[in-house]
Amino acid sequence: MCKVCWISLAAAVMVVAGMTYKFIIQGAVEPGVDGRLAIQLDDHERQLVLSEMRAFLESVQQITHGISANDMELVATSASSVGLASQQAVPGSLIGKLPLSFKKLGRDTHAKFDELALDAGQFGDSGHSLSQLGKLMQNCVACHAAYRFETAS
């Protein structure tokens, strides 16, 4: 009887490990034709991710404008609008399709926006904010170099 329990436990652990790998680490990816990983999403999920990226771009534009006008309140407000709190609305089904490396990069990008917002509000140093924006943009470049989004068929 104990042998059956151990075999059942081992099988359950293997299933959980496989699901963990598929939904937390690997995600729904395929090699893309251009060398990037193609993340397979349904149309609604793809539009959600692309709208988040457009929000990043709009925020970067406002931050750049704020820095050039020495309007650090605009910098802080624009950066915080796409910080970690903006991730709350991402559905679990989408999160499961994203590879772990993408999730880490995305979280780090949101955190960098929060840090930029906090520092802009506290220090009011446009040079520091510009430096932070440059580092943040490295995440954007890395993401676009590594991933693409395709609608799953």
Euclidean distance between CA atoms 6 and 10, whole angstroms:
6
Task: State yes or no: pLDDT of 16 exceeds 60.
Answer: no
Which range among 18-32, 63-77, 102-116 shows the weakest confidence by mean pLDDT?
18-32
Considering only residues 129 and 93, tell me which one the structure prediction assigns the higher pLDDT.
129
What pLDDT does 46 receive? 95
Q: Is residue 8 part of a domain?
A: no
User: Which long-range CB contacts under 8 A does 87-91 form with residues at least 24 apart?
Assistant: 90/48, 91/45, 91/48
66 and 58 in contact (C-beta within 8 Å)?
no
Q: How many domains does the chain have?
A: 1
The mean per-residue pLDDT over the stretch 112-128 comes to: 98
Residue 110 lies in a domain: yes
Written as one string, the DSSP assignment of 38-82 is EEEE-HHHHHHHHHHHHHHHHHHHHHHHHHHTT-HHHHHHHHHTT
Residue 116 belongs to some domain of the structure: yes
Question: What mean pLDDT do residues 88-114 have?
Answer: 93
Give the pLDDT confidence of 126-144 residue by residue, as tens digits.
999 999 999 999 999 999 9
Q: What is the pLDDT of residue 3?
A: 80
**Is 131 part of a structural domain of the chain?**
yes
- Rounded to whole angstroms, the Cα distance separating 65 from 63 reads 5
Asked whether residue 88 carries a pLDDT value surpassing 80, the answer given is: yes
The predicted pLDDT at position 24 comes to 54
Asked whether residue 51 is assigned to any structural domain, the reply reads yes
Domain coverage including residue 90: 28-151
- pLDDT tens for 31-87 read 999 999 999 999 999 999 999 999 999 999 999 999 999 999 999 999 999 999 998
DSSP state, 83?
S
pLDDT value at residue 131: 98
Q: In CATH, what number is assigned to the domain containing residue 91? A: 1.20.120.10
**108 found inside a domain:** yes
Tell me if 4 is assigned to some domain: no
Average pLDDT of the chain is 89
